[in-house]
Amino acid sequence: MPVMTYREALRSAMAEEMERDESVVLLGEDIGVYGGTHLVTDGLIDKFGDKRVIDTPIAEGGFTGAALGMAMTGMRPIVEMMTWNFSFQAVDQIIQNAAKVRYFSGGQVTVPLVIRGPNGGGVQLSAQHTHSLEGFYGHFPGIKVVSPVTPHDAKGMMLTAIRDNNPIIFMEAGALYGAKGEVPEGDYTVPFGKARIAREGTDVTLISYGRQVPLLEKVAETLEGEGVSAEVIDLRSIRPFDTETIVNSVRKTHRAVVVQEQWRWFSVASEVAAVIQEQAFDDLDAPVERVSGAEVPAPYARNLELAAFPSVDQIAAAARRVLYREN
């Protein structure tokens, strides 16, 4: 299979759908002539023109509202948030309108809208540009929230997102835009609501999503050297949420560590831990451990940013605790 970077896989998906369906258009700040801050849309304006790749003013509420209107009237817009933090300016359009129009209309009006962009940290963008908002958006019915980690899933899930008739919050791993992986040729989709078993194991289940998944794979390698077989689960999808894969894994390993970049309180990891407690309590041999980002605004300094997010050592230590192997 061809090898692509994460950003190339996203670009490929959008270009293919724009060729297939004239109702697909792109909107966002600097996505056209400049090619996007992260070069995800690089070259698309040359191919499709400025009527379909639209450089917008710096006004997230305005262009998100415009995209919402487009979606309600038969188009399939894709909005880029330069970072997901900027979506705070468009929260009213996303939550009060996009998430509720289908419900308000009794299903008569659909909102096939994709809002995409980099989520989380790891690239030294400091406190106002480094939020992890999957738990925030995952709270609201009416929208779907996904977080692919591999180039394969980035393309397949983007194709699924564009074809969906509901608003999609598409959270990309900004720190992994240059990461490479195999991507099948031709048309394929990756379904929402289905987790990926990134590595099979028998002794402990490690669960995360986004850029934390490669970290879990490193932890699994570390634990393997200690005679521990760790299973790694990539959630892929926050809403809808795959409880079956998680519960089946915990029933096999009897132990779980849930890892996230976002803050611990009121989070995705909290929900995963609750699902395990509700559906696999009798299978647990230890309490579920959670490893989260530090309860501080994200630092800019690289050494402090690294300290503020989960590390191999922190996650491995949590795994040892549930295995009762702590030193």
Residue of 38, 129, 131, 152 marked active site:
129
CA distances from 97 to 44, 63, 65, 112, 140 (A): 29, 14, 9, 13, 12
Task: Give the torsion through C-alpha atoms of 313, 319, 323, 324, to 10 deg.
Answer: 50
Instruction: Give 57's DSSP letter.
Output: P
Q: Is the dihedral of CA 247, 249, 251, 253 positive or negative?
A: negative
Of 238, 237, 256, the C-alpha closest to 246 is 256
Torsion of CA 307, 313, 317, 320, to 10 degrees: 160
d(CA 218, CA 197): 15
**Active-site residue, 172 included:** no
Catalytic hit among 17, 29, 60, 289: 60
Tokens 């998100």, residue?
A: 64
Helix, strand or coil, per DSSP, at residue 117 = strand
Where do the H-state alpha helices sit in the chain? 6-20, 44-48, 60-72, 91, 101-104, 134-138, 151-163, 212-224, 243-253, 268-280, 302-308, 312-322
Number of helical H runs and strand E runs in the chain: 12, 14
Q: Is there a catalytic annotation at residue 271?
A: no
Residues with catalytic roles: 60, 129
